[in-house]
Chains A and B, each alone.
Chain A
Amino acid sequence: MNIANFFRNYFEKNGIGLGTFLLVAVVFWVVVLIILPQLSMLDFSFRHHLPPPEMGGPKDVYTLEHYEYLILGAPGADTSYNVVDLGVFGRTLMAAVFVTLLNLVICYPIAYYLAQTKGGGGYTRILVLLLIIPYWINEILRAFAFRIIFGDSGLINETLLVFGLIDNPVDFIRANVALYAGLGYAYILLMIFPIYNVIESLDRNQIEAARDMGASWTRIHWRVVIPYAKPGISSGCTMVFMLTAGALAAPQILGGPSSLWFTQIIYQWFNQGGNWPRGAAFAIVLLVTCVIIVLSMMRIFKVRMGDIGK
């Protein structure tokens, strides 16, 4: 009833031609580009890894084998859990949380500054350009640039050596400093812009009113700006967290020899291992865990789904 009405209104508003086109485009996008691939991944993850001739044959039945593998390891392994993969999984999530928080701490002041001085002319615009232009360069080049900066004879080590702050180059790559810096930098815009957007709409008078009533800057941010910016902060954090946990290029290029990102394991199963079902299962575990983490964070910080789109 309602749906019929909705469609009637919809077509009246957009006309038959445009209306149909929009509808088809949206359905195509959602179904073909988003839902179907994910469903087929889900389907894959429950199947045995079979050579092509046996696919669709009698052996091709649903199984939890790959999920079991992630948790328990290969059958007959000497530990009762898959310590290696689970360890990487846990470390990846922790690192993603850490990178997200680091990003937030760095980006909030920048976003606040940009939003509050938007009328301020030249400097603000230059700062925005400085933020955006590096993103014209592709991700891999940027990651290699970081590798160079943080390398043994890179800019940072050279500078520290020249000033005599260190005697030997620090191995930033092995210490994963380069990795965290690279990951942090990779999604900085996705943190800044949502926060910038909300703070921009904050009435400056509220800040002044709080100041007039004697509030310190810390309290103004804590009680007035941050609560107001919460939707922006959570959408920034969500994006950065999801993308960091799912990043591949930066860990590949900047990660130390001992560090493995969970996506690298997934990648190995898909590519080197050629075991798509296992890769799919791992990827789905990562996705579902990330979604659960994000949703519980939203619950804890009392952010509603609807706020995020703001």
Chain B
Amino acid sequence: MSKGVGVDLEDVCIRFGDFVAVREANVSIKGGEFFSFLGPSGCGKTTILRAVSGFLEPSEGRVMIGGKDMAGFGPNKRPTALIFQNLALFPLMKVWENITFSLEVQGVGKAARRKRADELLEMIALTGQGDKLPSELSGGQKQRVAIARALCAEPDVLLLDEPLSALDLKLRQHMRTELREIQKRVGITFIYITHDQGEALTMSDNVAVMRAGIVDQISDGHSIYNDPATPFVASFVGENNVFRGKVKSINGDHAVIDTNRSGDLVARIATSAKGSLNIGDPAMMFLRPEACKIATDTSAAQNRLTAKVLHEEFEGQIYNVFLEGAQGKEIKMSLVNVGQERQSKHSNELTLEYNPDQAVILPAGELASE
């Protein structure tokens, strides 16, 4: 199996008539990487995947696979295999025929195909189930058959379009681990599409976050979560409390913004905004619920807020506390459940505190809609 074939999108624009589905996407995916596209519904993820697999030619720009321009190569001529959102197994073929369809296309004899099918069935832990029809399998099993079918073609790049979205939560989490393991074993490039940030963050080496046809940020899950490049990324990935204001002062890596309701707040300037943020600019500060703590020192400071407890949700490993700050500003805080006394009774006045390094400031921009 050939390994490590990279995929590069260079200035890719895709238009449907007047509608721009993808604009100027520049994405470089290294060979052997597990790469995810993450974004809300309708942002153009599938469209990008179809351009990589060859079902769609970009209106502008180039799709390179292994350094080779793919323009003019149809889906059957590209070293990619696509796993569809609904799997698209062939309902009238047996499981083993499904898996080895690509070999059948190549004219491989039946005995050899059967043998290969059995190897792949073993890999996906479905030994002995080759003679069933897809309709006789469970959701997770079908999923694995679809993966085996795609891998059987020995593609250099495997493309997965939200393949887990039809599964229930437990199975989805299980398949995440399994997919990641399969990817490590076969070592080929995986391009994975999802609107589920948990999936993207747990499995991927790198994630591209998309918003309405635009790639906002490409980096590893850590940076996406801790150092978002745009307000959209900050609000789409994970949860964040948003504070709007104007930049009041800048001090090295940190800035203070003057929010109209919560006073002056200090936070780290996001990497993408360094050098471009000026005093007086409209800005946003993002504070994650889990970065909030209950302060023991209640004196005023630029990293403290006072708030009143509205209600509390108990989730097991964490408590979510919903608070109301000055002038009705809603704030959410998450506390790890370590068996502490629940001090957040209704309408308790609290002082919250955060580490300024754990909050980020970005130039004001579009947020992900809830």
Closest chain A residue to B84, Cβ basis: A205
Proximity bits, B98-114, A CB within 8 Å = 1, else 0: 00011011100000000
Closest-CB distance, B90 to chain A (whole angstroms): 6
The residue from B53, B86, B93, B153 contacting A214, defined by CB atoms under 8 A apart: B153
Tell me the chain A residues, 176-207 only, with Cβ under 8 Å from chain B. Answer: 203, 205-206
Tell me the chain B residues, 67-113 only, with Cβ under 8 Å from chain A. Answer: 74-77, 80-82, 84-86, 88, 90-93, 101-102, 104-106
Is there an interface contact between B153 and A213, defined as CB atoms closer than 8 Å?
yes
Proximity bits, B139-165, A CB within 8 Å = 1, else 0: 000000000010001000000000000
Is there an interface contact between A214 and B88, defined as CB atoms closer than 8 Å?
no
Is there an interface contact between A212 and B76, defined as CB atoms closer than 8 Å?
yes
Is there an interface contact between A205 and B81, defined as CB atoms closer than 8 Å?
no
Tell me the chain B residues, 111-154 only, with Cβ under 8 Å from chain A. Answer: 149, 153
**Across-interface contacts of A228 in B (CB, < 8 A):** 91-92
Q: Check: A219 CB closer than 8 A to any chain B CB.
A: yes
* Measured CA separation A211–B73 after assembly (Å): 12
* Measured CA separation A208–B77 after assembly (Å): 13
Closest chain B residue to A219, Cβ basis: B105
Closest chain B residue to A228, Cβ basis: B92
Is there an interface contact between A212 and B92, defined as CB atoms closer than 8 Å?
no
Closest chain A residue to B161, Cβ basis: A205
Closest-CB distance, A29 to chain B (whole angstroms): 35
Closest-CB distance, B84 to chain A (whole angstroms): 4
Q: Check: A16 CB closer than 8 A to any chain B CB.
A: no
Closest chain A residue to B88, Cβ basis: A205
Closest chain A residue to B98, Cβ basis: A209
* Measured CA separation A212–B82 after assembly (Å): 7
Q: Check: A224 CB closer than 8 A to any chain B CB.
A: yes
* Measured CA separation A210–B101 after assembly (Å): 8
Is there an interface contact between B84 and A214, defined as CB atoms closer than 8 Å?
no
Is there an interface contact between A214 and B102, defined as CB atoms closer than 8 Å?
yes
Is there an interface contact between A209 and B84, defined as CB atoms closer than 8 Å?
yes
* Most chain B CB atoms below 10 A, which of A205, A212, A216, A227: A212
With contacts A208-B55, A208-B75, A223-B93 taken as known, whether A213 is within 8 angstroms of B102 at the C-beta atoms is yes
Proximity bits, A212-233, B CB within 8 Å = 1, else 0: 1111100100011001100000
Closest-CB distance, A232 to chain B (whole angstroms): 14
**Across-interface contacts of B84 in A (CB, < 8 A):** 205, 208-209
**Across-interface contacts of B81 in A (CB, < 8 A):** 212-213
Closest A-B pairs by Cβ, 10 of them:
A205-B88, A213-B102, A209-B88, A214-B76, A205-B84, A214-B105, A212-B75, A227-B92, A206-B88, A215-B105
- 30 A-B residue pairs with Cβ-Cβ distance under 8 Å, sorted by A, are A203-B86, A205-B84, A205-B85, A206-B90, A208-B75, A208-B84, A209-B82, A209-B84, A210-B101, A211-B74, A211-B75, A211-B76, A212-B75, A212-B76, A212-B81, A212-B82, A213-B76, A213-B101, A213-B102, A213-B105, A213-B149, A213-B153, A214-B76, A214-B102, A214-B106, A214-B153, A215-B105, A219-B105, A223-B93, A228-B91
